[in-house]
Structures are given as C-alpha cells and as structure tokens.
Amino acid sequence: MSVATRSVSRRKAPNWLPYLLISPTLIIVLVFTAWPTVQAIYMSFFRQYLNIAKFRTPTFIGLRNYKELFTSPDFLQVLKNTTIYVLGTVPASIVLAFLFALLVNRAVKGIGLARLGFFYPTILPMVSAATIWMFFFTPDYGLFNTFLETFGYHGPENWLGNPHLALLAVMIVAVWKNAGYLMIFYLAGLQNLPEDVFEAASLDGASWWTQLWKIAFPLLRRTTLFVSTIAIIDAFQVVDHIFVMTQGGPSGASTVLLYYLWQVRFEDLNVGLASALTVVLIIIMLSITVTNFVLSEREGA
C-alpha cells in the first residue's frame, strides 16, 4: 500500500475520542435523568399505593391521577403557594444580587471582606440557615419580634405558626440565602464590561444612573436572563428549609410543589399520584429551560 493510500484510509477512519469524552456525562444523564423521567411518565398512568395491600400492584387508570391533581383543592393551594413563592423570591433575590454586585465591584481596601459577607449565606447548608432563622422567628424572644417592639408593637407574633406569615418567613430565608450566590454572576458580568464605553459616556456628561440604566443593565441582559432562570428553577425545587421550619404548615399555608411531592410519595406512599406530580414539575422546568433558550437565541440574533 502506498503512502498516499495509507494517508487517505487514515483520514477516513472514525475519530472516537469526542464520543469517549462525552460518554461519562451521557451515561449519567441517561441513567439519572432520562430513565427516571420515562419511568415517572409511565407510572403516572397507574394507581399504586405502597401502604394498601390490594393496591400495591400497579393498575392502569389512564389520566385519572392528573384529573385528581387538578381537581384537588390541596394541589391548587400548592400551585398558588408556589406561584407566590416564585414571584416573591426571584425578583427580590435578583435585585439584591445586582445591588450587592454594584457595591462590591470596586477596588477599595477591605472589599474582599464585604464580598465574603454577602456570599457567606450561600456557603451555609439550607438546613443550617433554616435553623438559624428559626431563632429569629421565635415568638417570645426572636429578633424579629424584638425589633418590632422597638416601634411600639407588643404581643409576640408567631411567624411560623401564622397561616398568613409562614410562607413569607420561608421566602425571607430563601432571599437571604440566594442573593449572595446570584451576586457572583452579576459581579463577573460587571467586571467584564468594556470600560471604554463608560469612559466615553462620562466624557459626554452621562450621570451614574444613566450609565447604569442605559449601558450597564442592557449589556447585562444575558446575565440577567441566565440568573433569572437559575433563580426560578431553584425556587421550584425548594424543600429543605420548609421541612425544617414549617413542614408545609400551618394548614398547608407554606406547602410548595416539591414538598407536596415529597408528602405524596413518602408519607402517603401514593406512587401514581407522585409520578403525575413529577411530570408536572418536569414540564414546568422544561418550559423554563426552553424559554431561556429561545430568549437567548433571540438576543443573540
């Protein structure tokens, strides 16, 4: 075989290196994401109770689990709580994250401590953060009630036992925990903005607010889109600090979607209904991801 023939055959040989490099990630996605998703979709069409002997064997019931969900007052209340939680925590976390990033995006002495202070809540496990905040919300001597007493409010308020305040309490913890994490993305975005644009704007007499609103914020649009997607997905996946602080109570006032899924699956042992809940959650997450992709492509066009 000539040298030219060997060269051609070598070029035609398939290159398996890229497939080998992505195979570990592909296997993990297939085993821990794709296959459980398929199982959840399949089981959502069956009735199965692990705590009732005659219903332990899966029985095909079609769309009854979905009908039961969307006609259940408890599930509708959970959807309402989840919507309030998302609309309350996501914008507040993003605004605080942006303000924190503006504050620490400067080269001054001690700025590293300020960045650490804002980021420190992110390092704490959510369970530890919830335990700390339970002291703040304690009815008799909690810091919140002590603070309110300085303004003349008397009578200890039971934050976690009040149906009108329990969801607000867990939202406060979530904002405190997540703002520092989202700040990192904004800080990275601010530090990568072109300085010559701001210098030119300063020479033209643009104020700090004008530079922020007309230049910095539009340039950070992709960052905001990415941050909002992360914050929304994280808000739909909340479960741990609700488990510690309120356990979904009182009377389901702080029960959100993932915690309700945990209750149906591990307390009620209703596999079929839990699978239907999982499918609903997957559809919500998928919708957010697709929306993020479409908006990103539109901005990049």
pTM for this entry: 0.86
Tell me: the pLDDT tens digits for 21-68?
A: 899 999 999 999 899 999 999 999 999 998 887 778 889 999 999 999
Q: How far is CA 233 from CA 34, 66, 287, in A?
A: 18, 22, 10
The angle at the Cα of 160, spanning 155 to 166, to the nearest 5 degrees, equals 110
DSSP bridge pairs for 59? 47
Give me the CATH topology for the region 63-300.
MetI-like fold (1.10.3720)
Cβ atoms of 100 and 178 within 8 Å: the answer is: no
- The pLDDT assigned to 299 comes to 59
User: Where exactly are the structural domains of the chain?
Assistant: 63-300
Which own/partner contact pairs does 256-260 have at CB distance under 8 Å and 24+ positions apart? 256/78, 256/81, 256/82, 256/85, 257/78, 257/79, 257/82, 257/281, 257/284, 260/74, 260/75, 260/78
- The pLDDT assigned to 2 comes to 54
Cβ atoms of 92 and 172 within 8 Å: the answer is: no
CA distance 245 to 8: 68
CA distance 131 to 185: 27
Tell me: the pLDDT tens digits for 201-258?
A: 777 777 777 777 888 888 888 888 889 989 998 999 888 889 989 999 888 899 999 9
DSSP string, 99-127: HHHHHH-S--TTHHHHHHHHHHHHHS-HH
pLDDT at 262 over 90: yes
pLDDT at 1 over 60: no
Of 77, 39, 76, 52, the C-alpha closest to 269 is 52
- The pLDDT assigned to 4 comes to 52
Cβ atoms of 188 and 180 within 8 Å: the answer is: no
Tell me: the pLDDT tens digits for 3-16?
A: 555 555 555 657 78
Tell me: the pLDDT tens digits for 147-192?
A: 777 776 766 678 888 898 899 999 999 999 999 999 999 988 888 8
**Residue 169, token pair as written in the block:** 């309490």
In a 3-state reduction of DSSP, which class is residue 270? strand
- The pLDDT assigned to 209 comes to 78
- The pLDDT assigned to 38 comes to 93
Which residue in this structure is represented by tokens 């398996």?
A: 16
- The pLDDT assigned to 199 comes to 77
DSSP bridge pairs for 60? 46
End-to-end Cα distance, the chain: 50
- The pLDDT assigned to 7 comes to 54
